[in-house]
Amino acid sequence: MNGERLNGEKPCPLCDLPAKFWEATTTVGDFECKKCGYFKVALYSLNSGLKLSKVPTFLLNKGVGQYDGPRATALLKAYLSIYTRESSESGTPPTVLDLLNSSALENLAETYANTPVTAKPDKLLRLLERRTAYPGAPASFNPELGCPAIHAVSAAEFLYYVDALVTQGLIEISTPTKDPSGRYLENVSADVLYPATITMAGWARLGATGGNSRIAFVAMSFDASLDSAFSEGIAPAIRDAGYEPLRVDKVHHNEKICDRIVAEIRRARFVVADVTMQRQGVYFEAGFAMALGLPVIWCCRKDDLDNVHFDTRQYNHIVWEQPAHLHQQLVDRIRATIGAGR
């Protein structure tokens, strides 16, 4: 880069689609991709691109040939795309990707290579739910852009799960998903939109799911004084327990904030409610989660404990003073009451 600060558009290093790019610092470049979400790349590695010296073991176990470097690289990029998209949508800043550090990239990718196949149709149904204005209205999706959101590695795999939902009577769709030979469409333009409508059976399925979700919804004050409580305490504790934290102010969205909150709580496995500073919204979100039957883990900074609302004092709160203290207590509480995630 020769020290020159570049801004504009570049091919995404993970999917090759056009992406917004800017140099955040002299060493880190930021990408915003319609498919891969928002992520950071070490600038020194950008021109060289991602290269594998050998096929990782976890890909060999998936049937990739020992010398099939191109296929291994394509799959590694697809799994990294899942990682960056999920991090972006959960409001969790991803680690800076060093495209020349294949070992670190493989460790990130392997986590997303083992999503159970049976979980992916539910992820797709949840994706359509978030894009449905009201029951009966069609939701649009693009198989190429949408595949990372459901942990699929290609448009063809995405459409396989579309057909699975149609077969189960959970959605209705009129757009073909296969070519004349019966193969799922692979090269789908990023501009093509497929309309799908969730059926009543689909809504019933959505009401019954959530128990296998890896999302932990975080309800707390957005005051800057609590930023370290989230970034150094709550978020890493949730990840260490095997789940993904989601805080709505960290997520880019176009919906009304209250609608987004309700939708995200519905798809969460549990809620962490830190009532420090006594924001009424936190109590509402925790109460809504409890009405849905979701577990709620209550937290409060020690100097504010006396101000906790009378109706919730009966619940066992994690009382903390420093983020590190909150982190360890929260990890232990999640593992004890929710169980470790994958």
Sheet holding 270-274, edge to edge: 244-246, 215-219, 270-274, 296-301, 317-320
Question: 56: which residues sit within 8 A by CB, 6+ positions away?
Answer: 72, 76, 106, 109, 110
The answer on pLDDT for 221 being more than 60 is yes
More confident residue, 213 or 70: 70
The answer on pLDDT for 111 being more than 70 is yes
Domain that residue 77 falls in: 7-112
Phi and psi (nearest 5°) for 174?
-110, -15
Average model confidence (pLDDT) across the chain: 87
219 and 332 housed in the same domain = yes
The answer on pLDDT for 77 being more than 60 is yes
Cα–Cα dist 212/201, whole Å: 19
Of 181, 208, 235, which residue constitutes the final position of a domain? Answer: 208
According to the model, what pLDDT value does residue 4 have?
45
Q: How many residues does the chain have?
A: 342
In CATH, what number is assigned to the domain containing residue 188?
Answer: 1.10.10.10
With respect to residue 1, please indicate whether it lies within any of the assigned structural domains: no
According to the model, what pLDDT value does residue 2 have?
39
Q: How far is CA 166 from the centre of its chain?
A: 24
148 and 236 housed in the same domain = no
pTM for this model (two decimals): 0.63
Best mean pLDDT range from 52-61, 193-202, 328-337: 193-202
Segment 144-175, tens digit of pLDDT: 999 999 999 999 999 999 999 999 999 999 88
With respect to residue 2, please indicate whether it lies within any of the assigned structural domains: no
Cα–Cα dist 57/77, whole Å: 16
270 and 293 housed in the same domain = yes
More confident residue, 263 or 341: 263
46 and 146 housed in the same domain = no
Segment 186-195, tens digit of pLDDT: 778 888 899 9
Of 64, 87, 112, which residue constitutes the final position of a domain? Answer: 112
Q: Which of 30-39, 121-130, 194-203 has the lowest mean pLDDT?
A: 121-130
According to the model, what pLDDT value does residue 211 have?
56
Q: Which residue has the tokens 């470790």?
A: 340
Full 3-state SS string of the chain: CCCCCCEEEEECCCCCCEEEEEECCCCEEEEEECCCEEEEEEHHHCCCCCCCCCCCHHHHCCCCCCCCHHHHHHHHHHHHHHHHHHHHHCCCCCCCECCCCHHHHHHHHHHHCCCCHHHHHHHHHHHHHHCCCCCCCCEEECHHHHHHHHCCCCHHHHHHHHHHHHHCCCEEECCCCECCCCCECCCCCCCCCEEEEECHHHHHHHHHCCCCCCEEEEECCCCHHHHHHHHHHHHHHHHHCCCEEECHHHCCCCCCHHHHHHHHHHCCCEEEEECCCCCHHHHHHHHHHHHCCCCEEEEEEHHHHHHCCHHHCCCCEEEECCHHHHHHHHHHHHHHHCCCCC
Contact present, 72 and 59 (Cβ < 8 Å): yes
144 and 82 housed in the same domain = no
Cα–Cα dist 124/63, whole Å: 25
Of 142, 177, 208, which residue constitutes the final position of a domain? Answer: 208
The answer on pLDDT for 114 being more than 80 is no
Full 3-state SS string of 185-252: CCCCCCCCCEEEEECHHHHHHHHHCCCCCCEEEEECCCCHHHHHHHHHHHHHHHHHCCCEEECHHHCC
203 and 220 housed in the same domain = no
100 and 12 housed in the same domain = yes
The answer on pLDDT for 3 being more than 60 is no
297 and 266 housed in the same domain = yes
Q: Which residue has the tokens 């609302």?
A: 309
The answer on pLDDT for 213 being more than 70 is yes
252 and 150 housed in the same domain = no
With respect to residue 48, please indicate whether it lies within any of the assigned structural domains: yes
According to the model, what pLDDT value does residue 153 have?
95
Segment 255-286, tens digit of pLDDT: 555 777 888 898 898 999 999 999 999 999 99
In CATH, what number is assigned to the domain containing residue 259?
Answer: 3.40.50.450
The answer on pLDDT for 123 being more than 70 is yes
* Overall domain count for the chain: 3
According to the model, what pLDDT value does residue 97 have?
94
Cα–Cα dist 64/302, whole Å: 53
For residues 206-224, average pLDDT? 82
Listed residue (242, 237, 267, 245) closest to 341, CA to CA: 242
Indicate the residue type of 5: R
With respect to residue 342, please indicate whether it lies within any of the assigned structural domains: no
With respect to residue 204, please indicate whether it lies within any of the assigned structural domains: yes
